[in-house]
Structure 1
């Protein structure tokens, strides 16, 4: 990957990529692996971008798909090789960022379903329901209903009323 491509096409969207990768990882090591894989996949698939949507939409799609694929692979490996696997406890050293309020929010977001994580991240990026629907491959009405349910679930998680 050339540094020109990274600077022009990935770096301006790095905050979005970071947010998505962070929502699907629990450790700094996993976060770095996911981020690197997302950047690599954006570079590998750049010629497939048909300009039918915004570049940011393409970056979101790639980021979400890569994170979901890596998460699925990790779950499959965990189930096949260590049925008694216990997830590593998060510590200050393993967390991607040090802002405690942000950590609490991301902890709650990680407790959502994989698809709901993607939807709420797009919502938090102030994407319209239609943009979210385009990225997620559904319709805007479905997204509106889903976001309301996600907000309620997050509120309960943050208030400590749900395990």
Structure 2
């Protein structure tokens, strides 16, 4: 499986915007178009297309919260490419890239606590839950670097 993370740019943004999750996942995942708009007006936000054989099949966006913490705000794999190991391999690639940030001490991820898959999936990478976000909507989990 030739899986890579690629910058979202003028050549692939439309494909990234067309990616969708299954109907029962919509409440857990922000729309990629909205995420790309956010990143346009917040230059520190990093966006990556998850590409299989060069074709976008998923999306990441991570944000520097502080000099020592980066938070993965968006992570999705298109419904047609789920349950094939792509998400697991993509998250490993993202964690590896994020870890190369100078001064980084932790990577944070947030997810809806009602999402039945998220907790176990992220825990399998070493993310440890630290409590709910300030709005009380999302669970926060971190990996210490």
Output the TM-score relative to the length of structure 2: 0.29
Higher-helix-fraction structure? 1
More strand by share: 2
TM-score by length of 1: 0.27
Structure with more relative contact order (C-alpha pairs < 8 Å, separation 6 or more): 1
